[in-house]
Amino acid sequence: MKKVVVIVAGGSGQRMGTDVPKQFLTIQGKPIFIYSIDQFREAFTDIEIILVLPNSYHDFATERLHEFGYNQAAIQLVDGGLTRFHSVQNGLSRVPDDAVVFIHDAVRCLLSVDLIYRCYDSCITKGSTVPVIKVKDSIRRLAPDGSTHILPREELYIVQTPQTFWGKIIKEAFTQQYQSSFTDEASVLEYTGGEVHLVEGEESNIKITFSDDLLFAELKIKPIN
């Protein structure tokens, strides 16, 4: 079975407040995006890797990849787009229809190999898989009129990546026009009438967004090295 991962590293990192986009910051001397690549390569030695990133960072990424043992042929670099939707769309243009494709945030560098396997196994039988974790806190919705009401916590889940699909299914979904309501790949598929299936995610599979997230990742990774 062909396996491809589209690693999305197109963000600007403005919320992190750094000059370098967060996916290129380092933990224990290694760029965050390479930790994500390493996990997929550990899970499947034959996986094809597509790295979507700003064109201005292609040379930088290539140098870092070489530094950590990845040659030019091992990873395809693809230009990011105006939005996440367009970045993923660019990456999917390189994916065969008959592949299982993982779409993963480069800054979720703490994902485990077991999570990758769970997503793969579920996708094989169901065609689409999204890892999620349960909401722990009470959640309230603020209505436009200023009123609020509690939402049923037991029905709410936090969405993670890698979101995993049969190539043909997700590529067809991404032929539609962009909508501002598209927050992730599952929402794109759902808009076309496709069914989204869930699998258990991981509490530690955080998306590094703020400086505290980076500190958490450093603490989780340090014992491994």
pLDDT at 21: 84
CA dist., res. 38 & res. 106, Å (int): 11
pTM value?
Answer: 0.94
pLDDT at 224 over 50: no
Q: Are 170 and 189 in contact (CB under 8 A)?
A: yes
- Domain count within the chain: 1
Tokens of 3: 């396996």
Mean pLDDT throughout 62-78? 92
CA dist., res. 193 & res. 104, Å (int): 22
CA dist., res. 164 & res. 4, Å (int): 10
Residue 192 is part of a domain; what is its CATH number?
A: 3.90.550.10
CA dist., res. 23 & res. 195, Å (int): 30
pLDDT digits (tens, 9 = 90+) for 33-57: 999 999 999 999 999 999 999 999 9
pLDDT at 29: 92
Q: Which domain holds residue 176?
A: 3-224
pLDDT digits (tens, 9 = 90+) for 127-185: 999 999 999 999 999 999 999 999 999 999 999 999 999 999 999 999 999 999 999 99
